[in-house]
Amino acid sequence: MLELELTAIIVSIALLVMLIGSVHIGVALGLSGLLGMALAIGPQAALAQLATVPFNTTNEFALAVIPLFILMGALATQASLTTDLYRAAHDWLGKLPGGLAIATTVASAAFGAASGSTVVNAAVFTRIAMPEMTKFGYDKGLSAGCIAASGTLASLIPPSVLMVVFAIITEQPIATLLIAGLVPGLLSGFMYIGNIYLRAKRRPELAPPAEYTITWGDRLRALRGVWGITLLFAVVLGGIYSGLFVPTYAGAIGAFGAFLIVVARKRLTRKGMTEAFKDAGVTTSVIFLIVIGGVLFARFLSYTGLIADITDGLLNLGLSPYSYLLAFALLYLFLGMFIEPMAIMVITLPVMFPVLTGAGFDPIWLGVISIKLAEMSLMTPPVGLNVYVVRSASPVPISLGEVFRGVFPFLATDVVTLGLLIAFPGIVLFLPNLMTF
C-alpha cells in the first residue's frame, strides 16, 4: 500500500483533473474515492464499498423527502402558482420605488416555500418577470440580478433540498434544520428588498416609476391566486414545527396537496404530469449521484484516517473559533467559483464540520451559515449557477456580464446579512429552541 500522504496527493490530482475535464461531480467524487481506497486499503476492499454504498446510501427513509419536495415544486409550477404569486405581488408592490423588482423578490421567496430549488425559482421568474421589468424601462442588470439573487432564497426558506442534504451529510435532525432556515431566509429577502428600494430611490433611472392604474379591488382579487401556496406552506411547515409529522411525511403531504391544487385549477393534463414527474425524477437522480459519490469519497477520507488527522491538526493550531469560520467561508466562496453548492457541501463538510463543531459552533447554526454561503456561491463568477440560469432562460437579450454586474450589489447585501447571522446567532436558533419534540 502507498503512503497516506502520497495517496492523498494522487487522489487530489485525479479529482482535479476530472473536474477540469467536466466529468460530473458525483462521478468524479466516486471514482476519486474508489481510487483512494484501492491505493490505501486494497482493490478488493474498494470494490466491496462500490457494491454496498450506492444501495445503503439511498436506502434511507429520510432521503425520500428530497424527491417529494422536488415533486411538490414541480406540481406547484404546473398549477401556475408562480404566475399568480407574481401577479399578486405586482399589484400590491408595483407602485413602490423599484416595485416590480421588489414584487419579483417577494414572489420568488414565496414560491421558494414550495419548490425548495434555487434553479427552478431563477428559471421560472426569469421567464415571468424579466419581460415585465424590461417593458417598464428597468435596468437589465438590476432586473436580472434581483431574479438571480431572490432565486437563492429557496435554499434557506423551507422546504430546502440543500438543507436536507446538509442534515444527511452531518447527521443532524432534518426538521430542526428546516425550521432554523425560516427566519434567516426571510431576513435575506427583506435585505434584498431594502437594497432594491434604496437604490431605486437614489437612482430612479434604474427602476422608473410604474405608470399604470391599479385599484384596491384589483389587489384584493389578486390575493385569490395565492391561497394555494399559502396553504401548502402552512401545512408543510406547520406540521414539521408542531411535530405532527416528520419531514418525509410533510413532503408527501405537500406533494399530494400540490396535486390537489393542480386538479382544483383544472390544469391536470397527461403531458403536464409526465413533465412534473420526469423533472422530479431527473433532479433527484442527479442529487443522489452526488450524494453517493460524496459518501464514497468520505469513506476514503475516513478509512485512511485523513479526516481525523486534518481535524486534529487544525484544532491543534489553537486558532480562534472565528478564524476557522473565516477559513470555512473563504473556502466555500472560492469553490463556488468553480462547482455547484451541493458538491461543495459533499466535499467540504466531512472535513470541516468536525473542525467547526470542535471549535464550539452550534451544528444547527452552522448548517444555516453553510447554506447562506452556498446561496452566495450561486452568484459568484465565473460559474455562478443562478447567473447562468437567468442568462439562458431570459426572453430578453442580456449578456452574462450584465447579469454578473447586476448581482454584485446583492452579493454585498448577503455579506451584511451573513455578518448579522454570525453576530446574532439567536436569529437562527430562536425558532428551533422553541420546538418541543
Of 241, 69, 229, 79, which is closest to residue 159 (Cα–Cα)?
69
Residue type at 337 in one-letter notation: M
For the chain, percent of residues with pLDDT exceeding 70: 97
- The SS3 assignment for 336 reads coil
Burial of 416 (0-12, 13-18, 19+ CB in 10 A): exposed
Cell 485525479 sits on residue: 14
Task: Out of 113-122, 142-151, 191-200, 396-405, pick the least confident.
Answer: 113-122
Which range, 5-14, 299-308, 381-390, 421-430, is most confident?
A: 421-430
Neighbouring C-alpha atoms within 13 Å toward the C-beta of 168: 29
Gap between the Cα atoms of 264 and 283, Å rounded:
26
Of 166, 191, 150, which is closest to residue 375 (Cα–Cα)?
150
For residue range 246-255, list pLDDT tens digits in order.
888 888 898 8
Q: Mean of the pLDDT values across residues 45-69?
A: 83
Of 228, 268, 233, which is closest to residue 114 (Cα–Cα)?
233
- Residue 187 C-alpha cell reads as 431576513
For residue range 327-367, list pLDDT tens digits in order.
888 888 887 777 778 888 888 888 889 889 988 999 999 99
Query: Cis link prior to 382 (omega < 30° from 0)?
Result: yes
Gap between the Cα atoms of 422 and 412, Å rounded:
16
Dump the DSSP string for 47-102.
HHHHHHHHHHHH--GGGGHHHHHHHHHHHHHHTTHHHHHHHHHHHHHTTSTTHHHH
Decide if 149 contacts 390 (C-beta within 8 A). Answer: no
Q: How does DSSP classify residue 188?
A: H
pTM (two decimals): 0.85
Whole-number pLDDT of residue 437: 54
Whole-number pLDDT of residue 116: 65
Gap between the Cα atoms of 304 and 2, Å rounded:
11
Decide if 10 contacts 34 (C-beta within 8 A). Answer: no
**Does residue 236 have a pLDDT over 60?**
yes
108: left (phi over 0), alpha (psi -120 to 50) or beta: alpha
Decide if 385 contacts 181 (C-beta within 8 A). Answer: no
Q: What is the mean pLDDT of the chain?
A: 85
Q: How does DSSP classify residue 208?
A: P
At residue 307 the predicted structure's pLDDT band, cuts being 50, 70 and 90, is low
Better pLDDT: 73 or 366: 366
